Amino acid sequence: MRDLSDLKDELEKCVRCGTCRSVCPVFRVAGREPSAARGKLTLIESYMKGEIGLTETYLKHLKECTLCGACRQNCPNSVNTVEIFNAARIDAATKNGIPLAASLIFKNLLDDRILPWALKMATRLQGLIFKDSSVEKGLLSRFSLPIIGSGRLLPPLANKFFMELPEVKALSKQEQGSKGPKIAFYAGCGINYLMPEVGTATLEVLKKAGTRVIVPEGQVCCGMPAFSMGDEKIARNMALKNLEAFEAHEFDFITTSCATCGHGLKNLFRKLLGDNSELKDRVEAFCSKVRDITELLVNELDYLNKAGNEKKGELIATYHDPCHLGRAQGLRDAPRYLIEKCSAVNLKEMKNPCSCCGLGGGLSTTNYDLSINITKRKVDNIKGSGADIVVTACPGCMVQLRDGLHKFGVKAKVAHVVELL
């Protein structure tokens, strides 16, 4: 992986034309130069030259970014902005000794040993902190908490985490059935702690598609959240643990229903572990088998022909492209094909389906106001499409969209593609 100091040439590729101002979701809301890539790159360059230090303001601007990659995709000179931003975050976190969301709680949350424990405690405690909200799924925080803020719709922690469901535990060492391609399912934190139902729906679809599934035990967080907060070390540890957990089994593909995890497993792993010559081949073997669930169904399992032509009902659905699926993995068609051919809803595009939901890059933790105002634009577009359901393929986006729809009073439901199949 390239260090910030290796990225000098990449930084110099920016000619400051300003194109990034037209596509940056943060700039659209914040409206000032430091939030667009051009400003951030200038700051990073000045920091590297020693003209500014690791100041509060510098860190603030570094954090005001969802890492959605729209600037990189639209840059006429193909400046790899996201790589630079990640490297700058790692540099800052390393030198400061704490990740960018510099609260102790957050640091602990990033650690995979503490996370499950902390969340379990929270499940017990949440009755005290949250009151039921009648709207959609989720809970409205009753009190204003420092990182939560009142009026924010948070999904309840699952009563029973996905990895602990008996039907999942039954698959943790050995797959069921004896025919069909063998698939290893990677759940990820969103599904495990917040949305086990998306996980169970995935398992059902995989069964329908005629595969044998295993959900390897010992899998941990994919490391994307830690990485984007600049904590490369934790991210690398997690990658290693996952590698080992999956290497204990044989399978044809690894799949996940989380766009962010998919991007992490496919691309981040290579960056984190690929430099190590001993690990290189193992990492390559792992990464080359990773498929997003929609990609797996459409490209590998011929699901469109096996299960196609569902009869259409009345409901209108619109599809939100998760940044980590559309931009990061180039998968825009597969989820749409599945909705069109294999579900009972009618697909209607919204304006700017690929613009970021506002959650990414840790922004919803570090600057909730900014983050939810980005979501507001998304919500307006959803409303404009007249859809009853917003379909997407990432639990992270689902959390953010539910929060935004609730906050801005739009009635649409949020679902994962697999829940419609």
Partner 1 sequence: MLTNIVKNELKRIVGADNASFSKEDLLCYSYDATNSLHLPEAVVFPATAEEISLILKMANAEGFPVIPRGAGTGFSGGSLPVEGGVVISTERMKAVIEIDPDNLTAIAEPGVVTWEFQQEVEKLGLFYPPDPSSLKFSTIGGNIAECAGGPRAVKYGVTKDYVLGLEVVLPTGEIINTGVRTAKGVVGYDITKLMVGSEGTLGIVTKATLKLLPLPETIKTMLAIFPDLKDAAKAVSGIIRAKVIPSTLELIDSVCIKCVEEYAQVGLPQAEAVLLIEVDGSFDTVDKDSEVVKRICAGNGSTEVRIANDKKEVKDLWKARRAISASLFRVKPNKINEDIVVPRSAIPELIAGLQEIGKKRNLLIAGFGHAGDGNIHVNIMYDKKDPKESKEAQEAVVDVFGLTIKLGGTLSGEHGVGITKAPYLKMELTEASIDAMKRIKAAFDPKGILNPGKIFPKADKAQADRLKEPV
Ligand X SMILES: Cc1cc2nc3c(=O)[nH]c(=O)nc-3n(C[C@H](O)[C@H](O)[C@H](O)COP(=O)(O)OP(=O)(O)OC[C@H]3O[C@@H](n4cnc5c(N)ncnc54)[C@H](O)[C@@H]3O)c2cc1C
CA 362/CA 89 separation, integer angstroms: 11
| Binding range to partner 1, per CB under 8 A, among 31-39, 108-116, 120-128, 133-141 | 31-39
- Identify the residue among 4, 11, 26, 34 touching partner 1 (CB under 8 A): 34
Give the count of alpha carbons within 13 A of 342, CB side only.
Answer: 23
Establish if 31 lies at the interface with ligand X (CB under 6 A).
no
Q: What are phi and psi of 293, to 5 degrees?
A: -60, -40
- Identify the residue among 1, 2, 48, 52 touching partner 1 (CB under 8 A): 52
Paired tokens of 153: 């719709």
Please check whether residue 2 is in contact with residue 9, taking contact to mean a CB–CB distance below 8 angstroms.
no
**Residue number, 20 or 30, with CB nearest to ligand X:** 20
State how far Cα 137 lies from the chain centre.
Answer: 19
- Identify the residue among 6, 31, 143, 160 touching partner 1 (CB under 8 A): 31
- Identify the residue among 2, 13, 282, 332 touching partner 1 (CB under 8 A): 13
- Identify the residue among 8, 57, 248, 369 touching partner 1 (CB under 8 A): 57
Please check whether residue 260 is in contact with residue 222, taking contact to mean a CB–CB distance below 8 angstroms.
yes
Q: Which helix (H) or strand (E) holds 269?
A: helix 269-273
Please check whether residue 418 is in contact with residue 282, taking contact to mean a CB–CB distance below 8 angstroms.
no
Measured from the CB of residue 410, what is the shortest distance to partner 1 in angstroms?
Answer: 21
Measured from the CB of residue 228, what is the shortest distance to partner 1 in angstroms?
Answer: 21
Q: At what angle do helices 232-247 and 280-287 cross, to 10 degrees?
A: 70
**Residue number, 237 or 355, with CB nearest to partner 1:** 355
**Residue number, 18 or 384, with CB nearest to ligand X:** 18
Establish if 126 lies at the interface with partner 1 (CB under 8 A).
no
| Binding range to partner 1, per CB under 8 A, among 28-36, 200-208, 253-261, 388-396 | 28-36
Cβ neighbours around 146 below 10 Å, total: 7
Instruction: Give the count of residues interacting with partner 1 (CB under 8 A).
Output: 26
**Residue number, 77 or 159, with CB nearest to ligand X:** 77
DSSP string, 200-223: HHHHHHHHHTT-EEE--TT----S
Choose the contact partner of 22 out of partner 1, ligand X, none; CB within 5 to 8 A by kind.
Answer: partner 1
Q: Which helix (H) or strand (E) holds 46?
A: helix 37-48
**Residue number, 17 or 170, with CB nearest to ligand X:** 17
Establish if 127 lies at the interface with partner 1 (CB under 8 A).
no
Please check whether residue 358 is in contact with residue 371, taking contact to mean a CB–CB distance below 8 angstroms.
yes
- Identify the residue among 1, 2, 19, 148 touching partner 1 (CB under 8 A): 19
- Identify the residue among 3, 6, 8, 22 touching partner 1 (CB under 8 A): 22
- Identify the residue among 1, 2, 33, 337 touching partner 1 (CB under 8 A): 33
| DSSP secondary structure code for residue 417 in this structure | G
**Residue number, 79 or 214, with CB nearest to partner 1:** 79
Residues 6+ away with beta carbon under 8 Å from 37: 14, 20, 24, 71, 72, 75, 79, 81
| Count, residues in the chain | 421
**Residue number, 20 or 345, with CB nearest to ligand X:** 20
Residue nearest ligand X by beta-carbon distance: 17
Establish if 386 lies at the interface with ligand X (CB under 6 A).
no
CA 406/CA 351 separation, integer angstroms: 20
Measured from the CB of residue 20, what is the shortest distance to partner 1 in angstroms?
Answer: 8
| Binding range to partner 1, per CB under 8 A, among 15-23, 93-101, 216-224, 340-348 | 15-23
Cβ neighbours around 167 below 10 Å, total: 11
| DSSP secondary structure code for residue 177 in this structure | -
Establish if 170 lies at the interface with ligand X (CB under 6 A).
no
Establish if 96 lies at the interface with partner 1 (CB under 8 A).
no
Establish if 50 lies at the interface with partner 1 (CB under 8 A).
no
Please check whether residue 367 is in contact with residue 334, taking contact to mean a CB–CB distance below 8 angstroms.
no
212-222: buried (b, 16+ CB within 10 Å) or exposed (e) per residue?
A: bbbbbeebbbb
Establish if 17 lies at the interface with ligand X (CB under 6 A).
yes
Residue ranges binding ligand X (CB under 6 A): 17-18
**Binding stretches for partner 1 (CB under 8 A):** 12-13, 15-19, 21-22, 31-34, 39, 42-43, 46, 51-52, 55, 57-58, 61, 76-78
